[in-house]
Amino acid sequence: MSHASVPAGKYNADNPAPHHFGHHFESAEHEFSSAKQGMWLFMVTEVLMIGAIFVGYLLFRLRFPEAFHEAHKELNVKLGALNTVILIISSATMVLGVTAAQRGNNRRSIGMLITTIFLGGCFCLVKYFEYTHKFHEGIFPGGLYHFEGLTVPHAPLFFSFYFVMTGIHAFHVVVGMCLITWIITRIKRGQISKEFFTPVELVGFYWHFVDLVWIFLFPLLYLLG
Amino acid sequence: MAHTAEAHGDNYLNHEKGLWSWMTTVDHKRIGLMYLASVCFFFFLGGIFALIIRLNLMHSGHPVVDANTYNKLMTYHGAIMVFLVIIPAIPASIGNFVLPMMLGAKDVAFPKLNLASYYIYLAGATFACLALFLGGADTGWTFYTPYSIRTGGGVILVIFGAFVAGFSSILTGLNFIVTIQKLRAPGLTWNRLPLLLWALYATSIIQVLATPVLAITLVLLIFEHVFKVGIFDPALGGDPVLFQHFFWFYSHPAVYIMILPAMGVISEIIPVFSRKPIFGYRAIALASFGIALVAFIVWGHHLFVSGQSELANFVFSLLTMFVAIPTGVKVFSWVGTMYKGSIRFNAPMLYALGFIELFTIGGLTGVFLATLAIDVHLTDTYFVIAHFHYVMVGGTIMGFVGGMHYWFPKVTGKLYNETVAMWAFISIIIGFNLTFFPQFIAGTEGMPRRYWSQLPEFDLWNTLSTVGSWFLLLGFLMVAWNMIKSAKSGPAAGDNPWRALTLEWQSKSPPPHDNFGPTTPTVTHWPYEYKGANV
């Protein structure tokens, strides 16, 4: 697409380049709505992907309810709740960042996006402490589990799901932080304007989706007894 | 090739020059050709493995490879043919080339993503092939647990390769859905949409919805190796049957990712070479979606003998039979189209007829296997092998090769040699039936699949089958030779040698870089208004 041909240095966040839409589209609006549709479809694939692990979780939960009940007590509800709050706030800052970009207020947008990355980093930090604490106690997934404090049969399976589900989620958070960094550099290079903010909006979609997954993970893993 | 093409002016082949211009192209036509070359390469590779497997089974007591090598060959034949050949064959190569042109569009909706899909496919293929040199994999292409957890590390690379290649499939499907939704030329209403596009749309839905489930299943399987998560490992309280459910939740719909595009190709070829409007246009279009829908609720028929509940067996058996209805609608509509038509037996039509014959046998034997009592007897026998080869080779590959001949003049601007094409087809159709029909008989007599050595009582069928595989090789080599030679020095084809009415034939052959030049085509009629031999 055309933005690649913008000469470096000429445009910046305050003076963005004019947008030329792809030659196979009729208008910028046409291009934008197509990109949005593509992103929605991608979200659907993510739902199916995460959905399969949820099905596995439910299946084993029904099969070994006692083990899952006992094992979930080992999780730190306070840290989980803290992370939930962090992600909800990050969704709010993301919305503000996207709206600012849509209105052409690129400086404000950059500020909000940096805050979002910061909150994502906080989430990962909390997760890091949770994980290392578990490892320290000997709580590992499945076959590597050697925690003395909880010996209910099949409890290690609960932690397999815990680590896989939160691990895949955390991976998505890190990818999201990289994507936000990418759109910040694009804003700084003057490639985002009131007329063209597709990447910002789509990364916003993604970020909200990742938050939404956590909204399901938190009660399923931490709260449900 | 570029030199003679210049005589016809600027086209997508000479628009830019050099290897780098191909590697960085975002032109859907070039990406389609790159997929075509890769798919053909892997078809050749997977085919060699198949030939060795057949040679090994030719005479009982005379193996040509040892048992461990045999298991690896069998795994590689399956994994390469499924993930790297049949799934991308028609959508990613022919579909990439033809889909935007049939829509009257300049490109797919996301051209860069399209190129990325290709490189993701290549990366997946590279990982899978690396395993060849690192111990290999011997699980069969289905990677069933717990064996796939216990066997050597080479299998991780193959699993990772299939995982990566899956994303290529997802992104191609996503790209096609948005392209069909958003980039139709003025006047191209849904009721005027060519049937190949209906089929590709239905295929794309399956790719987008089913592939992610395989992706996560393969990730979990890798985690079984690396982190011992135990979800699929009975020794750790996990459930190997859950793996089978997850695996087939993708891999059964994947069968329709393979066959629906071929049905689309056949739906284009038959009216053109019968010079008659397609019979049951709307029924064929809806049948594609019917098949896609049913595709998602029949996976349990792969688990009839895996300890699934009797109720589940009964329900999945019944649902599986429903597949026969939309499929039958299509077959009868094609036959109805040919009835009293002015049929021309050019190579694409020969392959379409071959498709109908072979696919009908493959489809009907599928109904046998859907029947519970019969399936218990036939499970894990060569009957199953014969059944799915009739569908996948007899169906998908026939459609693929038929489509390659049909669009050859558009892609290259040349005509292929019709006589060579006819003899190649004869060799393939004889070879195919000789290879796989005896397997039906051997299967009903109890010959087990996947075994390295077979009993002498099956020698007759095994020998026939192996001889048949040589005719298949001969036929496909003739096709390849014909294509390569004709692309270099075939006679000029003209823009529309078949007098077809879909939009891609209104462009030049080979098409210009932006498909239709400065004018956007406008559609005023249905693409199947054929009115007899001369119109």
Confidence of residue B135 (pLDDT cuts 50, 70, 90): confident
Please report the pLDDT score of residue A8 as a whole number: 55
Q: What is the mean pLDDT of residues B46-55?
A: 97
Contact A142 B175 (CB under 8 A): no
Is the pLDDT higher at B152 or at B451? B451
Which of A200, A174, A175 shows the shortest CA–CA distance to A110? A200
Closest residue in A to B215 (Cα–Cα): A49
CB-nearest partner of B178 from A34, A45, A144: A34
Cβ-defined contact of B106 to A23 (cutoff 8 Å): yes
Q: Give the mutation candidate from B29, B174, B250 for the A interface (greatest A CB count, under 10 A).
A: B174
Query: Quick one: A225 exposed, middle or buried, by C-beta within 10 A (0-12, 13-18, 19+)?
Result: exposed
Q: Please report the pLDDT score of residue B2 as a whole number.
A: 41
The single residue listed with the structure tokens 């569908």 is B391
Query: Quick check: ipTM above 0.95?
Result: no
pLDDT in tens, B396-439: 999 999 999 999 999 999 999 999 999 999 999 999 999 999 99
Spatial contact of B499 and B272, defined as CB atoms under 8 Å apart = yes
Query: Do A49 and B213 count as a contact with CB atoms less than 8 A apart?
Result: yes
Which tokens belong to A3?
């933005």
Q: Give me the domains of chain B, ranges plus CATH numbers.
A: 20-506 (1.20.210.10)
Band (B1; pLDDT cuts 50, 70, 90): very low
Least confident of B299-303, B390-394, B503-507, B514-518: B514-518
What distance in Å separates the CA atoms of residue B206 and residue B249, rounded to the nearest whole number? Answer: 11
Contacts for B337-341: CB closer than 8 Å, 24+ residues apart: B337/B270, B337/B271, B337/B274, B337/B276, B337/B277, B337/B278, B337/B279, B338/B270, B338/B274, B338/B276, B339/B279, B340/B276, B341/B274, B341/B275, B341/B276
Question: Cβ–Cβ contacts within 10 Å for residue B399, how many?
Answer: 33
Distance set, CA B348 to CA B39, B267, B272 (Å)? 19, 11, 10
pLDDT at B503 over 90: yes
> What does the pLDDT average to over B106-134?
95
Cα(A43)–Cα(A45) distance, integer angstroms: 5
Instruction: Report how far residue A23's alpha carbon sits from residue A14's, in angstroms, rounded to the nearest whole number.
Output: 27
Query: What kind of architecture, by CATH, is found in domain A24-223?
Result: Up-down Bundle (1.20)
> What 3-state DSSP class applies to B301?
helix
Reading the block at residue B477, the tokens are 């080599």
- Is residue B7 predicted with pLDDT exceeding 60? no
| Backbone φ/ψ region at A158: left (φ over 0), alpha (ψ -120 to 50), beta | alpha
Q: Is any Cβ of chain A less than 8 angstroms from the Cβ of B175?
A: yes
d(C-alpha B95, C-alpha B89), whole Å? 9
In the three-class reduction of DSSP (H, G, I as helix; E, B as strand; rest coil), residue B423 is classed as helix
To test the contact with chain A by mutation, choose from B228, B250, B514 the residue with the greatest count of A C-beta atoms within 10 A, namely: B228
Q: Are B510 and B411 in contact (CB under 8 A)?
A: yes
Confidence band of B535 (pLDDT split at 50, 70, 90): low
Cβ-contact B295, B256 below 8 angstroms: yes
Low-confidence ranges of chain A (pLDDT < 50): 1-3, 6
Instruction: Tokens 């014959």: give the residue.
Output: B357
Angle at A120 (CA atoms; ends A115, A123), nearest 5 degrees: 130
Question: What is the distance in angstroms between the Cα of B179 and the nearest Cα belonging to chain A?
Answer: 8
| Beta-ladder partners of A15 | A12
A131 touches B at CB < 8 Å: no
Which of B 377-406 lie inside 8 A of A, CB atoms?
A: none
Q: Report phi then psi at A94, rounded to 5.
A: -65, -45
Residue type, A118: F
Residue B280 near residue B336, CB atoms below 8 Å = yes
**CA-based nearest residue to A109, from A188, A18, A202, A225:** A188
Q: What is the 3-state secondary structure (H, E, C) of B461-507?
A: HHHHHHHHHHHHHHHHHHHHHHHHHHHHHCCECCCCCCCCCCHHHHC
Q: Select from A1, A30, A45 the Cβ nearest to the Cβ of B170.
A: A45
Looking at residue A55, its pLDDT comes to 96
Compute the average pLDDT of residues B94-120: 97
- Give the minimum alpha-carbon distance from A24 to chain B in angstroms, rounded to a whole number: 5
pLDDT the model gives residue A7: 56
Cis check for the bond before B448: say yes or no (omega within 30 of 0): no
Say yes or no: B146 contacts chain A, CB-CB below 8 A: no
pLDDT, residue B523, reads 94
CA dist., res. B196 & res. A175, Å (int) = 36
User: Positive or negative CA dihedral for A154, A158, A161, A163?
Assistant: negative
Q: Please tell me the predicted confidence (pLDDT) of residue B516.
A: 93
Percent of chain B exceeding pLDDT 90 equals: 94
Q: How far apart are CA A219 and CA A217, in angstroms?
A: 6
Give the residues across from B448 on adjacent strands.
B381
pLDDT on residue B134? 85
Around Cβ B236, how many Cβ atoms within 10 Å? 22
pTM of the model: 0.95
Are B154 and B121 within 8 A, CB to CB? no
Average pLDDT, chain B: 95
Query: How does DSSP classify residue A15?
Result: B
| Per-residue confidence (pLDDT) for residue B136, from 0 to 100 | 83
Report the greatest alpha carbon distance in chain B: 70
**Count of all residues that appear for chain B in the document:** 535
Dihedral, A197, A202, A205, A210 alpha carbons, nearest 10:
-130
Q: Cα–Cα distance between B243 and B246 in angstroms, integer?
A: 5
Could you tell me if B443 and B41 are in contact, meaning their C-beta atoms sit under 8 angstroms apart? no
Residue of A137, A11, A159 whose CA lies nearest to A71: A159
Q: Which of B156, B159, B165, B162 is nearest to B135 (CA)?
A: B156
* Helices and strands (H and E) in chain B: how many: 20, 0
How many beta carbons lie within 10 A of that of residue B7, not counting itself?
8
> Which backbone phi and psi does B298 adopt, to 5 degrees?
-125, 5
Predicted pLDDT at A1: 42
Mean pLDDT of B306-330: 95
What token pair was written down for B101?
């042109």
Report how far residue B162's alpha carbon sits from residue B149's, in angstroms, rounded to the nearest whole number.
16
Q: Is the pLDDT at B159 greater than 80, yes or no?
A: yes
Report the C-alpha dihedral over residues B134, B142, A59, B292, rounded to 10 degrees. Answer: 130
Residue B30 has which token pair?
């070039």
Q: B381: which strand partners?
A: B448
Q: Please work out, in degrees rounded to the nearest 5, the angle formed at the alpha carbon of residue B386 by the alpha carbons of B383 and B387.
A: 85
Nearest Cα of chain A lies from the Cα of B355 at a distance, in angstroms, of 32
First to last CA, chain B: 32
Strand partners, B492: B414
Instruction: Please name the residue ranges forming H helices in chain A.
Output: 28-63, 65-72, 77-102, 106-137, 155-188, 198-217
B-contacting residues of A 146-205, CB under 8 Å? 153-154, 156-157, 160-161, 163-164, 168
B249 contacts chain A (CB < 8 A): yes
Say which residue, A102 or B133, is predicted with more confidence: A102
Q: How far apart are CA A147 and CA A137, in angstroms?
A: 6
